[in-house]
Every structure is written in C-alpha cells, then in structure tokens.
Amino acid sequence: MPIKEDTVAPSAQDGDSGARMIRLLATRVATLRKKHGMSRRVLSEMSGVSPRYLAQLETGEGNISVLLLQRVADALETRIELLLAEDTPLDHDVLRVAALYQQAPEDLQQQVCSMLAPQNPRLLRAGRICLIGLRGAGKSTLGLLAGQALGIPFVELNREIENTADMPLAEVMAFYGEEGYRQLEAEALERISARHDRMILAVAGGIVAEEKSFAHLLERFHTVWIRTSPAEHMQRVRGQGDHRPMQGNPTAMAHLKDLLKAREAFYACADAQVNTANRTVGSSLNTLLAAVAKHRFLDAGP
C-alpha cells in the first residue's frame, strides 16, 4: 500500500530515537524532582498528575501527554522544552563528565572531589549543624528548640526518608530492608546538604557505622554528640511509648552499653558534646547554644 504524503513510516532509527527521548525525559524529571527535595506525592499534588503516572514516567514506561507534561514542568519550575531537548550543552557536559567520573578508579574520584571542593573545609560545613548520638539522648527535642532559638530550620533525617518513600519508617525498613534503608539515608543526606546552607539536622544513631555517609556528614556539617547515661537512654525510649528495648529482653541494658561502647569512638569525632544526663531540657539547650556560639558553627569565616 502506498504511503500517503502526510504519513511517515517509522524506522528503526525512529524507534531508537523515541526510546532515547523517553529515557532522557525519565532521567530529567526524576533528577529535578530529587533536586527540589520533592516526593512523588508532593509533585503529584502540585502538578495534578497521579503518583502512579509519575512513577511510570520516571521509569520510562509512561506515554505522557504534552498537557500533563507541561503541568509537571511547571511544578518543577522548569521549561518543558528543557525536559524534551535532545541534547542541551549543559546536559551534554554534565552527563559526559558524570560518565567519566563513574568510570574512573576510586583514588582518581577522590582527587577530583578534592580539587572541586573549597580549600577551606570550614566553608563546606558553615551554617550546618548535625546532632548525633543514640536514640533517647535528646536530639529531636534539642534540635527543634535550638532551631527555633537560632531561627534556622530543623530537620530529622528519618522524617525526610519517610516523606520521600511515602511510608512510615517501620514500613520502609520492612519493605527495603537494612541495606535499602541505608541507601535511602545516604540519598536523603545528600539532598539535605544541597538544599540547606543553614540548618540543624538530627540523624539516627547508626549512621556513624556507615563509612561513606558518616564521612559526608563530617565533611558537610559541624557535629555535636548529644549523649546521656545508659539508664536515661532506656528510660526516654520507653517514655516515647516504645517498650521493645526492655520487653522480653533481660539483657537489653547490657546490649545498650555494648552498643554505646562500640560507637563511642565515632561519636567522639564530633566537634562538641552535650551531656543531657540528669539535666533539664532548658539547661541542655543552653549548653548546646553555648557550644554553637563558642565554635562559631554558624559563621562562614575561618
């Protein structure tokens, strides 16, 4: 059958081009969403496009209409043509350098990072404070109050993970497992570091055992070890309604002490310490604020 003048027969090259465009679109939408720190649920609410449709779009399985794509572009504060452009100079350069970096050996990757990083390591951490320590020491309480007192945002890393995954932490652990959780934790830490120049962050106690995440944390944040006695750790966790540390486990206290001992060297890497044992919240908060002022954590200068 002859081909009509206004019809073009699809070729293998057209198929390759279309598949490449879909992959490129998927990558750009996912990258921009993560750059803005948005979950798919939030992007869905802002664009009016269903979470399921967005998931298909980001995995390269969705055949999105131009009108819906325009909504997504508006929500991501970008132009639709930049999502669809076959090859912009910026994208080409970034993707080429990223590919070369990923293929390079680890020692060369470290050299590149050192060359690109500011020479004054304090500039990388300026304005960002992270509270580390075991659960029950008072990180969340003190972080929230200190953020209010200093006029800077307070963020809990686990809440960031929950918002991104669109599920409670217990479900995150059940669905992704420990390894998957740690990956989400590392990605959340990267996003938060890029998003906030001034903030207070509270992280889970076990992050110090993750070499890369802890190294990133020490590089990008001034750290404060919030600590207390083993007895108060246990008492506060139970006070939060979690009786698991004691229920059916007569050796729970011994395990807690062993955990503290195993992590003590990591926690001791912090720039400052605040011991909350047998102290009121107000007294502990004053000590934390004094440490921030003494060490000039919010200053950008040397």
Comparing 36 with 133, which gets the higher pLDDT? 133
Residues in the chain: 302
The pLDDT-based confidence of 55 (bands split at 50, 70, 90) is confident
Answer whether residue 238 shows pLDDT above 80: no
| Domain ranges within the chain, ordered by starting residue | 12-84, 122-294
| Distances, alpha carbon 179 to alpha carbons 164, 174, 210, 222, in Å | 17, 11, 11, 26
The predicted model scores a pTM of: 0.60
Per DSSP, 266 falls in state H
- Give the pLDDT confidence of 115-145 residue by residue, as tens digits: 665 556 667 788 999 999 988 889 999 999 9
The pLDDT-based confidence of 50 (bands split at 50, 70, 90) is confident
Burial code (b: 16+ CB inside 10 Å, e: under 16) for 197-217 equals ebbbbbbbbbbbebeebbebb
Query: Which pLDDT score, from 0 to 100, does residue 62 have?
Result: 62
- Give the pLDDT confidence of 182-211 residue by residue, as tens digits: 999 999 999 998 888 899 999 999 999 898
Q: Strand order of the sheet with strand 154-156? A: 154-156, 199-202, 128-132, 222-227, 272-275
For 285, the token pair is 């908060």
Answer whether residue 12 shows pLDDT above 80: no
3-state secondary structure of 211: helix
CATH topology classification for 122-294: Rossmann fold (3.40.50)
Assigned CATH class of 12-84: mainly alpha
The residue written with tokens 């609410």 in the block is: 45
> What CA–CA distance (Å, rounded) separates 269 from 267?
5
Q: Where are the alpha helices (DSSP H) in 76-168?
A: 80-84, 89-103, 106-116, 121-125, 139-150, 157-165
Question: How many other C-beta atoms lie within 10 A of the C-beta of residue 166?
Answer: 14
Query: Which pLDDT score, from 0 to 100, does residue 151 have?
Result: 95
Answer whether residue 155 shows pLDDT above 90: yes
